[in-house]
């Protein structure tokens, strides 16, 4: 049985040391500030990126480069490795289809190799939670197909709920009308968004005020846990360069639900370009998304 490597994209927001320790292949997605493109050899720090957005500079994103996918995957299969690619939601980016296309081309050239692409219908720490489970299964000696099948079973249960601090970023990203953004900002409306069963980002509810929005997130976790209450791999806390508030949200979850294993991660530029500074989110396993 050939060894397999776990692959993902930079949208999974994995820590650098985690990538190195677990020999994970990462396909870059790209982002821009004004006309400057970043994402592979050239990067901005989280603070530099969000400070640029706070200063009003235009941020954009681009999906993965098929040439880069081909180079990285070909190198792995020629070294005798198979690949399990745990992908960013296909409903949020063309990156997943790029990986599928290049994987098929590589397997035609290398029929001895197997590349499986798993569309998580999720993002960021939602992907990381599945990667952690896949690594655990791999260490247990599970093969490529069995690992893929178990991870597929988690996909409907990965709940990712968010709130944003500034509605104008959702407007610029095409997620909200200009009128709704203006009126909502004046009334201090904080939308509660989630990644739905199809992998798209949609509005779930709305509330007023930042702390109320955090309480709604915590209540959503409690309401959806069901039989998954004691099956958490980790509770993900996401933030758009607002770590202090992320830690406050973490404490609210500890106080209400008692969990002690968390992944507190900043949302990287290729997602943050659309959500803006101040995003707060929670990712967990639940009965339904």
Model confidence pLDDT, tens digit, residues 229-267: 999 999 999 999 999 999 999 999 999 999 999 999 999
Tokens of 4: 């397999």
Could you identify the residue written with the tokens 């993965």? 64
> Quick one: average pLDDT of 86-94?
95
Q: What is the DSSP string of 130-173?
A: HHHHHHHHHHTT--HHHHHHHHHHHGGGEEEEEE-S-HHHHHHT
Contact 4, 81 (CB under 8 A): yes
pLDDT at 202: 83
Coil vs helix vs strand at 35: coil
Element containing residue 190 per DSSP (H, E): strand 189-195
CA 100 – CA 178 distance, rounded (Å): 36
Contact 129, 64 (CB under 8 A): no
> Quick one: average pLDDT of 46-59?
95
Tokens of 111: 């029929």
Coil vs helix vs strand at 289: coil
149-181 residues labelled b (16+ CB within 10 A) or e (exposed): eebeebbebbbbbbbbbbbebbbbbebbeeebb
Distance, CA of 20 to chain centre: 19
Burial class (CB in 10 A: 0-12, 13-18, 19+), 249: buried
Asked if pLDDT for residue 205 goes beyond 90, the answer is: no
79: Cβ contacts below 8 Å, ≥ 6 apart: none
Of the candidates 133, 87, 145, 81, the residue with the CA atom closest to the CA atom of residue 112: 81
Asked if pLDDT for residue 180 goes beyond 60, the answer is: no
Give the Cβ contact number of residue 209 at 10 Å: 11
Tokens of 85: 């690619």
pLDDT at 183: 36
Range of weakest confidence among 182-186, 194-198, 217-221: 182-186
CA atoms within 13 A on the CB side of 51: 5
Asked if pLDDT for residue 83 goes beyond 70, the answer is: yes
Asked if pLDDT for residue 25 goes beyond 70, the answer is: yes
pLDDT at 169: 59
pLDDT digit string, tens, across residues 104-156 = 999 999 999 999 999 999 999 999 999 999 999 999 999 999 999 999 999 99
pLDDT at 185: 45
Could you identify the residue written with the tokens 């968390």? 262
| Full-model pTM | 0.92
């Amino acid at each position: 049985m050939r060894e397999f490597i776990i692959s993902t994209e930079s949208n999974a927001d994995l820590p650098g040391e985690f990538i190195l320790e677990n020999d994970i292949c990462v396909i870059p997605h790209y982002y821009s500030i004004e006309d400057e493109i970043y994402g592979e050899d050239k990067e901005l720090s989280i603070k530099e990126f969000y400070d640029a957005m706070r200063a009003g500079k235009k941020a954009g994103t681009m999906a993965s480069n098929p040439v880069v996918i081909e180079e990285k995957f070909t190198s792995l299969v020629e070294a005798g490795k198979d690949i399990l690619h745990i992908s960013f939601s296909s409903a949020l980016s063309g990156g997943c289809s790029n990986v599928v296309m290049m994987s098929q081309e590589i397997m035609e050239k290398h029929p001895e190799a197997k590349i499986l692409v798993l569309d998580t219908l999720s993002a960021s720490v939602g992907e990381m939670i599945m990667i952690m489970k896949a690594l655990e299964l791999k260490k247990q000696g599970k093969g490529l197909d069995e690992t893929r099948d178990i991870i597929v079973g988690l996909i409907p249960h990965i709940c990712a709920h968010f709130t944003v601090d500034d509605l104008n970023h959702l407007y610029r990203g095409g997620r909200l009308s200009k009128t709704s953004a203006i009126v909502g900002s004046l009334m201090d409306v904080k939308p509660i968004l989630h990644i739905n069963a199809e992998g798209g980002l949609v509005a779930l509810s709305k509330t007023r005020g930042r702390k109320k929005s955090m309480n709604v997130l915590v209540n959503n976790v409690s309401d959806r846990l069901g039989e998954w209450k004691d099956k958490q791999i980790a509770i993900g806390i996401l933030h758009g360069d607002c770590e202090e508030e992320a830690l406050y949200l973490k404490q609210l979850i500890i106080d209400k639900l008692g969990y002690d294993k968390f992944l507190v991660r900043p949302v990287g530029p290729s997602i943050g370009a659309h959500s803006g500074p101040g995003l707060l989110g929670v990712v967990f396993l639940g009965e339904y998304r």
